[in-house]
Amino acid sequence: MIDDALIGHNLTLLRGSMSQKELAERMRKLGFKWSQATVWSIEKGERPLRLTESEALGSVFGIQARTLTFAEQSFSRIMLSRALDDTLTEIGNLAYQSFERQRRLAMLCDLTPEDERDETFTPELFAENAVDHAISGLARAEAHLRGEFEVEETLHGPFPHEGHEYHQAFIARVRAQVEQLRDRSETEEETDDGVDQTAG
């Protein structure tokens, strides 16, 4: 049995920062005679959502129509997945912007006469980039996870692996990337030591 109150609650969460008026306008563009009052009554569970309307809402929000009927846990998973996709896209865009700005700044520094350069803008500054900062954040996340597991194992015993495949895959990926960072740092340090010894 379809729960109109549940659908209304899910629609409210899905709408997020979008106003009821804006959602109604988008639905009107798809051929539905919606007003802000229509959205309000559906979200309150006072008006049932028709199948064609749910399909249209699916196209508006980029989801399957049946998602609106999901119970809290499943719907929360969908919402978190959408938020994660948005975050990862934003990270990619920010990384691109940071590289581009850093490259332009490096070019400007090269064009600036040496006696006019700011002492804080050293060539070493431009050796560190968005990847380094991202991996540094990853290392902090891995350390945080490790600390949480240590507390959990102290209180409740070893963490059960069975039934936690997604969680384990995520943790394994984080740890592998942190190890890559450590290996790279050690290699760079060895290279620097070799250069210093040669110079000496």
Which position has the higher pLDDT, 165 or 75? 75
Give the range among 44-58, 81-95, 151-165 with minimum mean pLDDT.
Answer: 151-165
Contact 80, 37 (CB under 8 A): no
> In the predicted model, is pLDDT for residue 64 greater than 70?
yes
State the Cα–Cα distance between residues 80 and 157, nearest whole angstrom: 29
Which position has the higher pLDDT, 72 or 127? 72
Q: Give per-residue pLDDT as tens, 22-44.
A: 999 999 999 999 999 999 999 99
Q: Give per-residue pLDDT as tens, 114-142.
A: 888 777 777 776 677 777 777 777 778 77
If you write DSSP's letter for every residue of 42-86 in order, what string do you get? Answer: HHTTSSPPPHHHHHHHHHHHTS-GGGGG--HHHHHHHHHHHHHHH
State the Cα–Cα distance between residues 189 and 120, nearest whole angstrom: 23
**33, two tokens:** 């005679």
Which position has the higher pLDDT, 134 or 92? 92
* 55-to-3, 49, 120, 152, 155 alpha-carbon distances in Å: 17, 10, 56, 43, 47
Residue 3 region by backbone torsions, left for phi larger than 0, else alpha for psi between -120 and 50, else beta: beta
130-145 residues labelled b (16+ CB within 10 A) or e (exposed): beeebbeebeeebeee
Give the range among 17-26, 52-61, 162-171, 183-192 with minimum mean pLDDT.
Answer: 183-192
> In the predicted model, is pLDDT for residue 93 greater than 60?
yes
> In the predicted model, is pLDDT for residue 21 greater than 80?
yes
